[in-house]
Amino acid sequence: MSWVAILMGSQSDWPVMESTTDVLGELGIEFEVRVSSAHRTPDETAAYVCDAETRGCNVFICGAGLAAHLAGAVAAHTTRPVIGVPMDAGSFSGFDASLSTVQMPPGIPVATVAVGRTGAKNAGYMAAQILALGNETLAERLLQDRSQNREKVAEQNRSVQASLDSE
Protein backbone atom coordinates (compact mmCIF):
# COMPACT_ATOMS: atom_id res chain seq x y z
CA MET A 1 0.00 0.00 0.00
CA SER A 2 1.34 3.41 -1.00
CA TRP A 3 1.52 6.13 1.60
CA VAL A 4 3.22 9.44 2.33
CA ALA A 5 5.61 10.29 5.15
CA ILE A 6 5.44 13.86 6.44
CA LEU A 7 8.42 15.05 8.45
CA MET A 8 8.89 18.43 10.09
CA GLY A 9 11.87 19.89 11.83
CA SER A 10 9.96 20.89 14.97
CA GLN A 11 6.48 20.92 16.43
CA SER A 12 6.20 24.62 15.61
CA ASP A 13 5.92 23.61 11.93
CA TRP A 14 2.73 21.62 12.59
CA PRO A 15 0.19 24.45 12.01
CA VAL A 16 1.55 24.80 8.47
CA MET A 17 2.12 21.10 7.73
CA GLU A 18 -1.36 20.23 8.94
CA SER A 19 -2.52 21.66 5.59
CA THR A 20 -0.68 18.79 3.91
CA THR A 21 -2.55 16.23 5.98
CA ASP A 22 -5.85 17.96 5.16
CA VAL A 23 -5.23 17.52 1.42
CA LEU A 24 -4.04 13.93 1.75
CA GLY A 25 -6.97 13.04 4.01
CA GLU A 26 -9.51 14.56 1.62
CA LEU A 27 -8.02 12.50 -1.20
CA GLY A 28 -8.01 9.30 0.87
CA ILE A 29 -4.23 8.93 1.00
CA GLU A 30 -2.61 7.28 4.01
CA PHE A 31 0.16 9.18 5.76
CA GLU A 32 2.37 9.32 8.84
CA VAL A 33 3.60 12.47 10.55
CA ARG A 34 6.88 12.74 12.46
CA VAL A 35 8.97 15.48 14.07
CA SER A 36 12.55 14.75 13.09
CA SER A 37 15.49 17.10 12.89
CA ALA A 38 18.24 16.97 10.28
CA HIS A 39 20.63 18.43 12.86
CA ARG A 40 19.42 17.33 16.29
CA THR A 41 18.37 13.75 15.42
CA PRO A 42 20.22 12.89 12.19
CA ASP A 43 20.58 9.17 12.95
CA GLU A 44 16.91 8.81 13.88
CA THR A 45 15.90 10.70 10.73
CA ALA A 46 17.96 8.38 8.52
CA ALA A 47 16.61 5.30 10.31
CA TYR A 48 13.01 6.49 9.90
CA VAL A 49 13.48 7.11 6.17
CA CYS A 50 14.90 3.63 5.62
CA ASP A 51 12.16 2.02 7.73
CA ALA A 52 9.38 4.00 6.03
CA GLU A 53 10.69 3.01 2.62
CA THR A 54 10.69 -0.70 3.54
CA ARG A 55 7.08 -0.33 4.77
CA GLY A 56 5.92 1.08 1.42
CA CYS A 57 6.30 4.84 1.72
CA ASN A 58 6.38 6.21 -1.81
CA VAL A 59 6.75 9.97 -1.17
CA PHE A 60 8.37 12.02 1.58
CA ILE A 61 7.22 15.56 2.38
CA CYS A 62 9.53 17.61 4.60
CA GLY A 63 8.80 20.96 6.19
CA ALA A 64 11.54 22.97 7.82
CA GLY A 65 12.59 26.56 8.31
CA LEU A 66 15.77 28.56 8.78
CA ALA A 67 18.57 26.24 7.55
CA ALA A 68 15.86 23.96 6.12
CA HIS A 69 18.13 20.96 5.68
CA LEU A 70 15.54 18.30 6.50
CA ALA A 71 14.37 17.66 2.94
CA GLY A 72 17.95 17.35 1.72
CA ALA A 73 18.89 15.06 4.58
CA VAL A 74 15.92 12.83 3.75
CA ALA A 75 16.73 12.87 0.02
CA ALA A 76 20.26 11.70 0.85
CA HIS A 77 18.77 8.46 2.22
CA THR A 78 16.18 7.57 -0.43
CA THR A 79 15.56 7.56 -4.15
CA ARG A 80 11.84 8.08 -3.53
CA PRO A 81 10.46 11.54 -4.35
CA VAL A 82 11.08 14.15 -1.66
CA ILE A 83 9.04 17.34 -1.57
CA GLY A 84 10.36 20.24 0.50
CA VAL A 85 8.11 22.81 2.14
CA PRO A 86 10.05 25.90 3.26
CA MET A 87 8.63 27.44 6.44
CA ASP A 88 7.95 31.15 6.67
CA ALA A 89 10.01 31.70 9.80
CA GLY A 90 13.09 33.66 10.73
CA SER A 91 14.48 37.00 9.69
CA PHE A 92 13.91 36.44 5.98
CA SER A 93 10.29 35.18 6.20
CA GLY A 94 11.13 31.86 4.57
CA PHE A 95 13.25 33.16 1.71
CA ASP A 96 16.35 31.58 3.27
CA ALA A 97 14.51 28.29 3.81
CA SER A 98 13.34 28.34 0.21
CA LEU A 99 16.86 28.78 -1.12
CA SER A 100 18.19 26.08 1.18
CA THR A 101 15.50 23.64 0.09
CA VAL A 102 15.88 24.27 -3.63
CA GLN A 103 19.70 24.39 -3.78
CA MET A 104 20.50 20.67 -3.84
CA PRO A 105 23.56 19.05 -5.41
CA PRO A 106 23.12 17.13 -8.67
CA GLY A 107 21.71 13.65 -8.14
CA ILE A 108 19.94 14.47 -4.85
CA PRO A 109 16.82 16.34 -6.01
CA VAL A 110 14.19 17.87 -3.78
CA ALA A 111 10.99 19.13 -5.39
CA THR A 112 10.35 22.48 -3.72
CA VAL A 113 6.97 24.15 -3.32
CA ALA A 114 6.00 27.62 -2.13
CA VAL A 115 6.81 28.91 1.32
CA GLY A 116 4.30 28.23 4.09
CA ARG A 117 0.72 26.99 4.10
CA THR A 118 0.17 27.27 0.32
CA GLY A 119 3.30 25.21 -0.25
CA ALA A 120 2.17 22.65 2.33
CA LYS A 121 -1.12 22.21 0.48
CA ASN A 122 0.63 21.93 -2.87
CA ALA A 123 3.02 19.35 -1.40
CA GLY A 124 -0.02 17.22 -0.60
CA TYR A 125 -1.35 17.65 -4.13
CA MET A 126 2.07 16.90 -5.66
CA ALA A 127 2.36 13.72 -3.61
CA ALA A 128 -1.14 12.73 -4.75
CA GLN A 129 -0.22 13.32 -8.39
CA ILE A 130 2.88 11.15 -8.00
CA LEU A 131 0.89 8.34 -6.40
CA ALA A 132 -1.88 8.69 -9.00
CA LEU A 133 0.53 7.64 -11.74
CA GLY A 134 -0.10 4.05 -10.63
CA ASN A 135 -3.57 4.42 -9.13
CA GLU A 136 -6.54 5.12 -11.39
CA THR A 137 -8.91 5.60 -8.45
CA LEU A 138 -6.71 8.33 -7.00
CA ALA A 139 -6.30 9.90 -10.45
CA GLU A 140 -10.09 10.14 -10.68
CA ARG A 141 -10.28 11.74 -7.20
CA LEU A 142 -7.77 14.36 -8.33
CA LEU A 143 -9.86 15.09 -11.42
CA GLN A 144 -12.96 15.46 -9.25
CA ASP A 145 -11.09 17.84 -6.93
CA ARG A 146 -10.04 19.97 -9.91
CA SER A 147 -13.62 19.99 -11.17
CA GLN A 148 -14.89 21.16 -7.77
CA ASN A 149 -12.29 23.94 -7.72
CA ARG A 150 -13.34 25.06 -11.22
CA GLU A 151 -16.97 25.17 -10.09
CA LYS A 152 -16.04 27.28 -7.04
CA VAL A 153 -14.33 29.83 -9.29
CA ALA A 154 -17.27 29.82 -11.72
CA GLU A 155 -19.66 30.42 -8.82
CA GLN A 156 -17.52 33.30 -7.56
CA ASN A 157 -17.58 34.80 -11.05
CA ARG A 158 -21.36 34.47 -11.26
CA SER A 159 -21.66 36.19 -7.87
CA VAL A 160 -19.43 39.10 -8.95
CA GLN A 161 -21.26 39.45 -12.27
CA ALA A 162 -24.64 39.45 -10.49
CA SER A 163 -23.46 42.22 -8.14
CA LEU A 164 -22.29 44.27 -11.14
CA ASP A 165 -25.57 43.74 -12.98
CA SER A 166 -27.54 44.97 -9.98
CA GLU A 167 -25.68 48.31 -9.85
pLDDT at 66: 83
pLDDT at 89: 83
pLDDT at 34: 98
Chunked in runs of 10, what are the mean pLDDT values of the chain (167 residues)? 93 96 98 96 97 98 91 98 93 88 94 96 98 97 96 96 89
pLDDT at 70: 97
Name the pTM for this structure.
Answer: 0.93
Secondary structure in 3-state letters for the chain: CCEEEEEECCHHHHHHHHHHHHHHHHCCCCEEEEECCCCCCHHHHHHHHHHHHHCCEEEEEEEECCCCCHHHHHHCCCCCCEEEEECCCCCCCCHHHHHHHHCCCCCCCCEECCCCHHHHHHHHHHHHHHHHCCCHHHHHHHHHHHHHHHHHHHHHHHHHHHHHHCC
